[in-house]
Amino acid sequence: MEYEVIIGLEVHVQLKTKSKMFCGCKNEYGAAPNTHTCPVCLGMPGSLPMPNKRALEMTALTGLMLDCHIAPVCKFDRKHYFYPDMPKDYQISQYDLPICSQGHVDLVKECYPKDVQKEVMETKKVRLIRIHLEEDVAKSFHFDTTSGIDFNRAGTPLMEIVTEADISSPEEAFAFLSTLRMNLLYGKVSDADMEKGQMRCDCNISLRPKGVKEYGTKIEIKNMNTISGVRRALAFEIKRQTAGYDKGEKFAQETRRWDEESGQTILMRVKESAHDYRYFPDPDLMPVDSSAFMDKVHGEMPELPAQKRVRYMDDFKVTDYNAAVLSADKFLAEYFEIAVDGAKSTNTVANFIVNDLLRDLGNEGKEIKDSPIPPQHINDLVALLDGAKINSQQAKEIFIEMYQTGVDGSAIVAKDPDKYKQVDSGEIEAMVDAAIAANPNAVAEYKSGKTGAINFLKGQVMKVAKGKASPTVVDEMLKSKLG
């Protein structure tokens, strides 16, 4: 039987504020355990919370970037449950009046896993239900015979972004999280580092036979901390549930966790019924009027990836593909804009970054921030090419040496000038004249409209020049003489 996959995500994002959500303690990753605490974030009797205005602004900014409705008034509620690393035994969150609602995330091809990008034919819209603001819990550490809790994280501002059940494959979940993370980085609201717990994901997945309207039994996978791990966990769960349904099994609503080593989800608990969190408005916190800060938030709206993509094509004349790749990563976009500054052949700059640099970095499992080639060196290399100081084949060879040594192209050429010395224009003209005279058939084909014939003539010239003539100069001279 064929099954339809239904996936919804709940993404928790730590905000990049200087202090915690309801107190003045420092919001810092990696500090010594239990050094950033106070009576408020430890839930001491009599302590009073005060909302972090910057966290509210960042959440509203995230909502604007994702086309959400920003509530004119939102409020905070108490969500009651027992959890060992929640000191108050309730969490301050938002229930019926969240700061953001609706909105959507558009899944662009470049944010899918590379192995499936060619299969993506159109952009998909994943709707959001809400974005609400709450406080994070502390972090538990489990040792051989004991457990410990670090309360530094307790009270950290935390956005929860909840999607509709619009996702229908692990690859779409991957694209959603990649796209969301890209927007968070562009907005500078979070570092969204999943390995540091700054962005965590719960997945809700169910299967139903194709053609059936009712949802299947929902299975929750908790606290995923890598985007690729989410993809693998969902793929496993689809296979597990498919095999079970094919055997006639009935699934109970349950919560599972992903075990990376074994490559499978593992049962944590079975949910017999929904939790009663006994929400009620927090009596210590007044409702928030968002108009008090929305002018500032509108002024902080960044240039989003879709806008940057269009600008790259318009201003730098790069291809649609190059523009999409370069704009899909904030740090890659910053690298490109430095590399392209003042360049004559702007798409050549883009090609070296997209085709050569990203390939070599990818082979080593590195990101653009780890590049051994500074962006100015890409600019320098393309300037050598534009100035006919080197040819395209030599540029490729120099790029390899630049990547291996970190030395710029001009220094590499200066080290061995004879190796890179180009044939002057007078010699090139003589070679072009000789190629035209020796190949009348190719000349006739070109003049009859078969423009590809010029590549044969260009090859003849380059062969005589032993690769030391500028292909651009040869091409221009051939076209000029052939008319």
pLDDT at 272 over 80: no
- Residue 90, pLDDT > 70, answer yes
* Percent of the chain scoring above 90 in pLDDT: 77
Q: What pLDDT, in 10s, does the model give residues 138-183?
A: 999 989 899 999 999 999 999 999 999 999 999 999 999 999 999 9
Cβ(21)–Cβ(92) below 8 Å:
yes
Out of 1.10.10.10, 1.10.10.60, 3.20.20.80, 1.10.10.410, the CATH code matching 425-482 is: 1.10.10.410
What pTM did the predictor assign?
A: 0.85
pLDDT value of residue 1:
83
Residue-wise pLDDT for 426-446, tens only, equals: 888 899 999 999 999 999 999
pLDDT in tens, 92-101: 999 999 999 9
| pLDDT tens digits, 5-31 | 999 999 999 999 999 999 999 999 989
Residues of the chain with CATH 1.10.10.410: 425-482
Is residue 213's pLDDT more than 80? yes
| Better-predicted residue by pLDDT, 58 or 275 | 58
